[in-house]
Chain A
Amino acid sequence: MPGLTSKSSVTTGSASRAEPVIDVSNITKTFGETTALNDVSLTVGRGEIVVLLGLSGSGKSTLLRHLDGLDRPDSGSVTVLGAAVSSLKGRPLRALRGQVGFVFQQFELVGSLTVLENVLTGALFRVRGPRLGLWGYRRDLKLAALGHLDRVGLLAQAYQRADTLSGGQQQRVGIARALMQNPRILLADEPVASLDPESSAQVMALIREIAIDSGLTVVCSLHQVDLALSWGDRIVGLRHGQVVLDTITQGLSKQNVMEIYGRVTTSTGELDAIETELGTELGTGEAGEPDEQGELDLATFSSARDNRR
């Protein structure tokens, strides 16, 4: 693909100042005919809040799965918290996974279990053997789980079945489950793609708040430029399994991002698709009004951002 090698020209701020906790170097992953990741490198420092931005099929999920050892690269290496994830097996792999929380797009709760039990499954790597039912968990774990549920504002729903909750509430349970691991890194795969705008704002704000409070490193995949700009500290753009953008969000406008995508995109059809999916229009000028969604997001996150700085 000609014209795509200008990676360096769109990379403005990838150099991590803090010590790296995630170090991906030159990984390639193919599923049958399709190349999901093509020579991807990424370094994330401690406490960074990074957004993986891209269309569906751009390789965001695959990259996240590699960070948790759920997928293995065909070539290249993945180092997380000093461990070579791509070669870990058995207990050491589980120990690493325990330190990395994962929040899923579809929440992935067991609907027939109570909310509390779902949160407790986040502690499984710390106990031996299988667990069935609430009585299987130690009291201190239960109290910790209740604490995390309180943190996400769902203490009153602790003993309800998970499938009685709304989507936004279920995702907050998913976050509580990840917190139950006492993670050092939080990975989130399109955490709000299945939610309505209001719940999305709540969930994203919650993730950022928790990340800052607990000093978590966060890698979160998103597909909305507005949200990515207002929420993340740094944006890594993926396209066809390649990193096409890696920059801090400070001072970056939606226009900039779209221009970058415009530069690396060859066909107009694809640009249309990016426009549709990233929810913006090219060429509306800098004075172009942000849509309602964008405003809402900015309003919600500016406070969290101010807290940090």
Chain B
Amino acid sequence: MTLTLERPQASQADAATPAPQRRAHPQKIAAALTLVALVAASVFSLISVDISLPQMVASWGNAQNFFARVGIISFPAPGELLYLTALTVGLVLLGTLFAAFFSVPLSWLAAANTSPGRGWMAVARFLGVLARAVPDVVLAMVFVLMFSLGTLPGILAIGIHSIGMISKMFADAIEQIDEGPRLAIRAAGGTRMQEFFSGVLPQVLPSWVATVLHRNDINLRGSVILGYVGVAGLGLEMSYAFKSLNYSLGLGIALVIFALCVVMEIVSSAVRTVMLGLAPTRHGIGDRLLRRLGVTGQKADASHHPWTYARLRNAVWGLLAAFIVIGSVWICDIKWGDFLTVWSYLPETAAKFWPPSFGSYDAPVMLAAMGETIAIALAATILTIVASIVIGSLAARNVAPSRRVRAGFRLVLVTIRGIPEIILAIVLIVVTGLGTQAGTIALAIGGVGLLGKLLADSLEEVRPGPEQALRAAGATRLQVYAGATAPQGMKALIGHSFYMLDTNIRAATILGLVGGGGVGYYLLNAGQGSRYDLVTTIVLMILVTVVAVEGLAMWMRRVFR
């Protein structure tokens, strides 16, 4: 209809007049230049972190020595192992759920289309950025001071830090909804709250579930590092083992964590499929079974919600989820009394962290360290992007030449994602020695797991129409990819890449804790040496960097819309 509306103008216009030139917006030029500058900086960083293959090959000897020294990998006693595993999973789960719950109101405030006002929006967005920018390790450091030792510091650290990401993704999802159903509810006389619950929430629930599950995977991997600052679980045991030079046990626990992460990844992927499964086909095994049992008399008793296979399945999953949550609370043995006593510690703790200072270091030393962290993050991001474009594309259903290829690359991605970066970094540090090189490679490899997956998912979500059109015109597989799939996925790639950079800056800090170079080393030292004012300084530096990257990403997204 819009086409015919434009026709009068078109028919009036002289056919000979040239088509109007598309004028490049100055903002667009600036954004493109910034993008180029960022890529250049990344390449420069890549050179400066000094990754050299010969050196890595040469250090292979170290690795052999190391593994010879480790001998046979050993594990904790089965009962203890089981308890530690359950504890770690339960703690992570509760932290994620905490975040999932509190990110709903925060996202409601932060999304442009649901927020009650611009002021609320700014506050909510700022809280989100703050939660995201302060590493969970730092939060755990603080909470360990305020709460009695146990699981609560870990749960809260994971929870508060995760609110940042979940609320951001959720707010973005809310902003992308179809406004129609909401309008329909408004037209029917619904309140703002009703609009949100009936028109917005059902649309974004799948993305919320996906984000929460995804965050849970991240948190499980991240929980390892929390052990280094005293949060109970597998991470703590591993850090004890490495500190006491019991490498055989340390690597054993690392192996368990790795397996746990892969299992969790598979479980959450299964949950996602079940919960986000497309409209029920009504041809599944369960449906046929129910039909045979004659459970489909729908018209007869339409006033009762029929127990279809889908409903039965949802109910079973729901019950299971409830049991797992109750089990998590039970095993974490939360000391609820801490919530009352914590307030009395608050002023004392705050005094330790304020005012910020550089401690015994000079400002230039700390700034150089921060610069090194940024360089690691940039170098790792560019490596990740290059690798992810290849692996992620081949893991997308509509790009992979065969199902088997897709499955293979998906498996590669899951495996990479399963390896906690920290363990990768520890192993790499052993192999290549302390320094930026190990940190960069660990981050780059770990990043492929995430970016590759995000990219593959985005590519699978592009509109299939243009692809079909090209295929119908006789294009080859590669031509379809270059002509229809990739251009549609480009925007997502830019968005995901900035997200990657964002993540990497924080991850680069944390890797420093185990000797991966950058500002993290100082952070751990300051924490262990009770120089909390220095911790504050470092956190502020990280905060400024993350907020800058965040702002840049937002600007890019707006310009390249």
Does A46 lie at the interface of the complex (its beta carbon under 8 Å from any beta carbon of B)? no
CB-defined contacts of B181 to chain A, threshold 8 Å: 108-110, 121
Does A106 lie within 8 Å of B11, measured CB to CB?
A: no
Residue of A nearest to B13 (CB): A269
Which of chain B's residues have a CB closer than 8 A to the CB of A102? Answer: 184, 187-188
Q: Given the complex, which residues of A lie within 8 Å of B298, measured CB to CB?
A: 156, 158-159
Interface string of A251-285 (1 = CB under 8 A from B): 00000000000000001011011001100000000
B189 near A110 (CB under 8 angstroms)? Answer: no
Q: Are A110 and B190 in contact (CB-based, < 8 A)? A: no
> Is B185 among interface residues, defined by CB-CB distance under 8 A?
yes
CA distance A163 to B303 in the complex (A): 21
B202 & A112 in contact (Cβ 8 Å cutoff): yes
A269–B8 touching, CB < 8 Å: yes
- Closest-CB distance, B54 to chain A (whole angstroms): 55
A132 within 8 A of B: yes
A112 touches B11 (CB 8 A): no
Tell me the chain A residues, 81-103 only, with Cβ under 8 Å from chain B: 93-98, 100-102
Knowing A110-B181, A130-B196, A155-B302, say if A68 contacts B187 (CB, 8 Å). Answer: yes
B167-221 contacts to A, CB under 8 A, are: 178, 180-181, 183-191, 193-194, 196-199, 201-203, 205-206
B472 CB-CB contact with A under 8 Å: no
Q: Tell me if A124 and B8 are in contact (CB < 8 A).
A: no
In the bound complex, CA of A70 to CA of B174 (Å): 21
Q: Are B189 and A104 in contact (CB under 8 A)?
A: no
CB <8 Å contact, B189 and A95? yes
**B24 to chain A: which residues have CB within 8 Å?**
none
- B302 and A276 contacting across the interface, CB-CB below 8 Å: no
* Complex Cα gap A149–B180 (Å): 21
Given A102-B184, A112-B206, A132-B201, the answer on whether A155 and B191 have CB atoms closer than 8 Å is: no
Query: Which residue on A lies nearest to B204, using beta carbons?
Result: A112
Q: Which residue among A70, A102, A130, A160 has the maximum number of chain B CB atoms within 10 Å of its CB?
A: A130
Residues of A within 8 A of B191 (CB): 94, 124, 130
Using Cβ atoms and an 8 Å threshold, which residues of chain B touch A109?
A: 181, 184
Chain A residues with CB under 8 Å of B8's CB are: 267, 269-270, 272-273
Contact at B202–A108, with CB atoms within 8 Å?
no
Interface size on A, residues (CB 8 A): 60
Q: Is A243 close to B, CB under 8 A? A: no
* Given A110-B198, A110-B202, A159-B308, A124-B188 contact (CB < 8 Å): yes
Closest-CB distance, A217 to chain B (whole angstroms): 16
Q: Nearest Cβ in chain A — how far from B207, in angstroms?
A: 11
- The residue in chain B whose Cβ has the minimal distance to the Cβ of A68 is B187
In the complex, are the beta carbons of B7 and A181 less than 8 A apart?
Answer: no
Q: How far is the CA of A159 from the CA of B302 in the complex (A)?
A: 8
A113 contacts partner chain B, Cβ-Cβ < 8 Å: yes
- Interface residues on chain B, size class: 35 or more
Chain A positions within 8 Å of B7 at CB level:
269, 272-273, 276
Choose among A100, A125, A181, A193 the residue with the greatest number of B CB atoms under 10 Å from its CB. A125
For residue B279, CB closer than 8 A to chain A, the reply is: yes
Q: A122's closest neighbor in chain B, by CB?
A: B188
Chain B residues within an 8 Å CB radius of A132: 197-198, 201
Docked complex Cα distance between A149 and B303 (Å):
11
Query: Does B186 contact A97, Cβ atoms closer than 8 Å?
Result: yes
Q: Which of B349-381 contact A (CB under 8 A)?
A: none
How far is the CB of B113 from the nearest CB of chain A, in Å?
Answer: 15
Q: How far is the CB of B283 from chain A (nearest CB, A)?
A: 13
Is B15 close to A, CB under 8 A? no
A134 within 8 Å of B by Cβ?
Answer: yes
Closest to A94 in B: B189
CA distance A102 to B11 in the complex (A): 36
CB within 8 A of A130: which of B5, B180, B197, B308? B197
A121 to nearest B CB, angstroms?
5
Which one of B12, B191, B201 has the highest number of Cβ atoms from chain A below 10 Å of its Cβ?
A: B191
Nearest Cβ on chain A to B300's Cβ, whole angstroms: 10
Q: Is A7 an interface residue (CB 8 A)?
A: no
Inter-chain contact B5/A121, CB cutoff 8 Å: no
Instruction: Check: B305 CB closer than 8 A to any chain A CB.
Output: yes
Whether A163 and B5, one on each chain, are in contact in the complex, defined by CB atoms closer than 8 angstroms, is: no
Alpha-carbon separation in the docked complex, A211 to B298 (Å): 29
Kindly list chain A residues whose C-beta atoms are within 8 Å of the C-beta of B476: none
Are B189 and A56 interface neighbours, CB within 8 A? no
Q: Does B71 contact A (CB under 8 A)?
A: no
Bound-state Cα–Cα, A163 to B206, Å: 15
> A94 to B305, alpha carbons, bound, how many Å?
30
In the complex, whether A143 has a CB less than 8 A from a CB of chain B is yes
Q: Chain A 162-199, CB within 8 Å of chain B: the 1/0 string?
A: 01100000000010011011000000000001000000
Known contacts A97-B189, A98-B188, A110-B199; is-contact A104 B180 (Cβ 8 Å): yes
* CB proximity of A146 to chain B, nearest CB, Å: 6
Closest 7 CB pairs of A and B: A125-B189, A130-B197, A108-B180, A98-B189, A97-B189, A269-B8, A102-B187
Some 22 contacts from A to B, beta carbons below 8 A apart, are A55-B1, A56-B2, A57-B2, A70-B183, A98-B189, A108-B184, A110-B198, A111-B203, A112-B202, A117-B198, A121-B188, A121-B190, A121-B198, A121-B199, A129-B193, A134-B305, A156-B302, A164-B279, A267-B8, A269-B11, A273-B5, A276-B7
Beyond A97-B189, A267-B8, 12 additional contacts (C-beta under 8 Å) are A55-B5, A94-B189, A97-B186, A110-B198, A111-B203, A117-B202, A124-B191, A129-B193, A178-B188, A269-B8, A270-B8, A277-B5
List residues of chain A with CB under 8 Å of any chain B CB.
Answer: 55-57, 68, 70, 93-98, 100-102, 104, 106-113, 117, 121-122, 124-125, 129-132, 134, 142-143, 146, 149-150, 155-156, 158-161, 163-164, 174, 177-178, 180-181, 193, 223, 267, 269-270, 272-273, 276-277
